[in-house]
């Protein structure tokens, strides 16, 4: 009965493309978090606090 109703289209994604998108998003998130952290680690804490 519900095997093939008219007007219903299911979108099937390729597992390789889904995995590629997940890896790409993880890489972007890693770079976006690592670069500011590395920059902050190089700063002197006293100078960073004195700025405020």
Q: Is residue 21 part of a domain?
A: yes
16 or 51, which is more confident? 16
Q: Is residue 8 part of a domain?
A: no
Angstrom distance (rounded) from CA 36 to CA 38: 5
Q: Which of 1-5, 14-18, 20-24, 35-39 has the highest mean pLDDT?
A: 20-24
Q: Is residue 25 part of a domain?
A: yes
Structure confidence by residue, pLDDT tens digits, 33-49: 999 999 989 988 888 78
Q: Is residue 1 part of a domain?
A: no
Q: Is residue 4 part of a domain?
A: no
Range of the domain at 45: 15-50
Confidence band of 4 (pLDDT split at 50, 70, 90): low
Domain count, the chain: 1
Angstrom distance (rounded) from CA 4 to CA 31: 45
30 or 14, which is more confident? 30
């Amino acid at each position: 009965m519900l095997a093939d109703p008219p007007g219903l289209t299911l979108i099937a994604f390729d597992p390789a493309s889904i995995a590629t998108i997940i890896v790409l998003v993880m890489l972007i998130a890693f770079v976006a978090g690592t670069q500011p952290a590395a920059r902050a680690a190089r700063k002197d804490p006293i100078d960073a606090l004195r700025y405020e």
